[in-house]
Structure 1
Amino acid sequence: MHALIVGNSDGIGLALTRRLIDGGWQVTGLSRSPAPVGDHRVVDVTSPDFPRALSEIDNVDLCVYAAGIGDTLTDDFTAQTRAIEVNLLGAARTVEVIVPKMLAAGRGHLIGLSSMADTLISADAPGYAASKAGLSAYFLGLDAALRPRGVAVTTVRFGFVDTKMAKSPVTPFRIPTEKAVDVLLTCVRKRPALVSYPRRMAALTGVLGPALRLAARSKPFFGTR
């Protein structure tokens, strides 16, 4: 089995790469920094070279989009634009190249790492929240369209994960990176359309979502990668 992981030089992507290799998978990784394991190619998802690098990879059974960034808002809005480019447009460019090959083969599985920030309007990190809202909506729509044709699409909404992306000083229900990988490996086996983990955090954001949106100025964002 062949897996493509976009964004596997650190965090969840790197941990998943290691676990898949241990499980007998062939893994190809793409990220802007070198990765210490697997067949890896250095390319930024916002680069014009990214689609070409993707096009050189064939026979993909599983594609995981794990690339992600997020920075707090300042008077320089460049970081917000880049968050949208990496978290959402990079995923869309991956879909554009990889999914047609899966459809031609009549099989495949695409997983996108989203966030529970997709339900928030964040004054702290608006680019991050917007990109994750777009990613969740896009991948859920893709699943409805593609699953009947043999290609499953899974949206995974994490809360706080113990990676460099969890920048808030308060991180309730924070989970270790390896637990996040456990969740992803379950998704690989079962191919659900949507997973939100941890469930207590999902319940909290679901119940308090409207209040959190009203109080967005004082709320930190949820980082996953």
Structure 2
Amino acid sequence: MTTTQPGVVFVTGASSGFGAAVTRRFAAAGARVVISARRADRLRDLAAELGPRVLPLTLDVRDLAAVNAVVNGLPAEYAQVDVLVNNAGLALGLGPAQTAGIDDWDRMIDTNCKGLVYCTRAILPGMVARRRGHVINLGSVAGTYPYPGGNVYGGTKAFVHQFSLNLRSDLHGTGVRVTCVEPGMADTEFSSVRFAGDKAAADAVYAGMQPMTADDIADAIYWAATRPAHVNVNTIELMATAQSFAPFQVARDG
């Protein structure tokens, strides 16, 4: 079995969490990695750690013009992207829809949906022209299984799942692959962001259980990207062993 060995990988949201772990995993395998995020200092530190084959580029995926400028301006040795990892995303708040902040909703939609679409649209034509490539989108189990307070975050991840399936249909016959990776509970900065830096609230999410790690998710992404070219992994859903499913809620009178 001949596995695929990506030459160039483009990772969004690479400054921490899944994105940083994915960068380390592909860099260790010898790939050139374009790392993008808003936090330039963290990108520089990661590039310094991993060496000259990692190219740090400051980017806010919500800015369409900036996305196009970055992709069109890639140096020749990074221009032919083999794997796009659409990792940039976030959850904000855990309140019910009737009290949630519209600004938080806008930011989640702009990052998790529009930012992912912008990066995909910018990089995809080159993949199709070369008849090879792989788009890997970070979804979530929240896109399948609802929970109180998940409202717009879960909706954005349902979008990511369906968009990934529709990409597969559009790309039929091109040789370009698409995978949606949908994690459950993983201990990264995700909860700190969700709770606006409230460390106690973030830590409580994982209290008394063993969540997945960023490296666990990076390993799944690397595995999908290195399958033989004739194999497309459509969806990977993974959870911590300690996490599963609950009964339906029932509101009762009295």
| TM bracket (short chain) | 0.7 to 0.9
Name the counterpart of 1:91. 116
User: Does 2:218 match 1:181?
Assistant: yes
1:75–1:118 distance in 2 versus 1, CA, 3 Å: closer
Name the counterpart of 1:40. 56
Q: In the TM superposition, what are the counterparts of 1:140-179 in structure 2 within 5 Å?
A: 140-166=165-191, 167=202, 169-171=204-206, 174-179=211-216
2:136 counterpart SS class: strand
Name the counterpart of 2:233. 192
TM-score (norm 1): 0.84
Of Structure 1 and Structure 2, which has the larger fraction of its residues in helix? 1
Q: Distance in 1 between matches of 2:24 and 2:189?
A: 18
Q: Distance in 2 between matches of 1:176 and 1:3?
A: 21
RMSD over aligned Cα, in angstroms? 2.3
Name the counterpart of 2:126. 101
2:204 counterpart SS class: coil
2:88 to 64, 67, 73: 67
Letter in 2 for 1:63: L
1:201–1:154 distance in 2 versus 1, CA, 3 Å: farther
Q: Distance in 1 between matches of 2:38 and 2:132?
A: 28
Bigger Rg over Cα: 2
Name the counterpart of 1:49. 66
Q: Distance in 2 between matches of 1:168 and 1:66?
A: 22
How high is the sequence identity, in percent, across the aligned residues?
25
Q: Distance in 2 between matches of 1:59 and 1:109?
A: 12
2:154 counterpart SS class: helix
Aligned length: 210
Large movers: runs of 4+ above 6 Å: none
TM-score (norm 2): 0.75
Give CA-to-partner distance per residue, 1:82-117, whole Å, 9 cap, x none.
Answer: 011101111111111111110011110110011000
Q: Answer whether contact 1:161 1:177 (CA < 8 A) is retained.
A: yes
Q: Gaps (5+ residues) in structure 1?
A: 216-225
Q: Distance in 2 between matches of 1:150 and 1:68?
A: 27
Higher mean displacement: 144-153 or 14-23: 144-153
Q: Gaps (5+ residues) in structure 2?
A: 1-6, 48-53, 192-201
Deviation at 1:165, TM superposition (A): 0.8
